[in-house]
Amino acid sequence: MELIVTQEKLNKALSAVSKVASIKTQLPILSNILLRTDGNRLLIAATNLEIAITEYIGAKIIKPGSITIPARLITEFISNLPKESIELKVINDNLHIKCGSFNSIINGYIADEFPELPTISKSSIQYNIRVDDFKQAVSQTIITTSTDSTRPVLTGVFWHSYQGKLFLASTDGYRLSERLLVDTKSELSAIIPTQTLQEVLRNISDESDEIEVLFDDTQVRFRIDEIEIISRLIDGNFPDYRQLVPSSSEVLVNINKADFMRITKVAGLFSRESGGSITITADKEKNILVIHSIASQLGENTSEITAKVSNNGQITLNSRYLSEALSVIEGDEIEFSFNGKISPCLLKSIENKNYFHIIMPLKS
């Protein structure tokens, strides 16, 4: 293999794919990046057998071929080269790199040992989603996925069709979120790993306008400009979460989001010793919401803000969960509702009804 490519293109592509290369693995080849010519383009790819990322970049191909190179070394090395043309040449399974005054050799491995890159059927379910909608929907739901590997179905986001709409949902058992994304005529039920969605978010550039999402029975593929990310889906049935959504509320509070976030964060400073526990009291007569927290060694805090309150009530929540929920809800005004101390609370935007977030209460 012999070719010439610009440092900017190669550096960008290596940065995009290298994160999924496994450093600690029983298969050393998985810690490598595949370089392979394809017509007048260079394919750069990496995989950990769960996720595969590929990107094609333009290059002047002098001699076709392929090689795999240690991901960390090649990525860091290329990032430190000057923004000039780079000559890549394979001699005896070693990659010779020349750029300006730099001449280096990196020991490589034959590409035949690299796992076959996954493919996905063109006849699968496909969505073309605006980048802004995708980023917001995924950001709003990955925060409530679980990290508990003993319940794998909760470690991803559930993409599913319901009454002609495509929804994203996730839960870790303590909180739950759902986001309406687009209309759909397809029947879909798929759980995408959180790590996969984080990789997709990481690879969205400011120039990206649209993401193509393609599903088959066991895989999902995301295409962002010249980058493709293919991932296995999580096998299993997601819980029937809609039965957990409160149909009515005894206490309904309409409140300014910025004010609510501020007093929640302040209360959280005093709740670290108590597992983040903060007590929220709704006062209908005064039309205020009061948050109280105690740190036995440091002191205590009580904050209040004006709000539109439908009824008196009290609930104890985890301050971090509440802060994270408020940080991803759109709009300036929040609807915060609950049914007593032991039922879940529901948060959503007054202005935009396409997202809701549920938090289970703590024992007060």
Question: Residue 359: is its pLDDT beyond 90?
Answer: yes
Query: Count of alpha carbons within 13 Å of 320, Cβ hemisphere only?
Result: 8
Residue with tokens 């790819």: 45
Amino acid, res. 23? I
Question: Residue 151: is its pLDDT beyond 90?
Answer: yes
Task: Name the average pLDDT for the chain.
Answer: 94
Per-residue pLDDT tens digits for 195-237: 999 999 999 988 889 999 999 999 999 999 899 999 999 999 9
Considering just the CA atoms, what is the radius of gyration of the chain in Å?
25
Looking at per-residue pLDDT, the higher value among 27 and 159 belongs to 159
Contact 331, 153 (CB under 8 A): no
- pLDDT recorded at residue 364: 61
CA distances (Å), 311 to each of 278, 346, 349, in order?
Answer: 20, 15, 19
Q: Report helix, strand or coil for 348.
A: strand
Q: Supply the pTM of this predicted model.
A: 0.93
What's the mean pLDDT in 138-162?
Answer: 97
Domain with CATH 3.10.150.10 in the chain: 2-113, 125-243, 246-359
- pLDDT recorded at residue 25: 74
Pick the CATH number of 125-243 from 3.30.67.10, 3.40.50.300, 1.25.40.10, 3.10.150.10: 3.10.150.10
- pLDDT recorded at residue 300: 87
Contact 357, 175 (CB under 8 A): yes
Per-residue pLDDT tens digits for 234-287: 999 999 999 989 888 999 999 999 999 999 999 998 888 778 899 999 999 999
Residue 348 burial (C-beta neighbours within 10 Å; 0-12, 13-18, 19+): buried
Which numeric CATH code is attached to 2-113? 3.10.150.10
CATH fold of 246-359: DNA Polymerase III; Chain A, domain 2 (3.10.150)
| Selection from 269, 267, 262, 288 nearest residue 279 by Cα | 267
Per-residue pLDDT tens digits for 315-329: 999 999 999 999 999
- pLDDT recorded at residue 357: 98
Question: How many angstroms separate the most distant Cα atoms in the chain?
Answer: 82
Contact 358, 244 (CB under 8 A): yes
Per-residue pLDDT tens digits for 179-197: 999 999 999 999 999 999 9
Contact 171, 146 (CB under 8 A): yes
Rounded CA-CA distance 343/311 in Å is 16
| Selection from 199, 209, 175, 179 nearest residue 325 by Cα | 175
Residue 87 falls in which region: left (phi positive, over 0), alpha (psi -120 to 50) or beta: beta
What's the mean pLDDT in 100-112?
Answer: 94
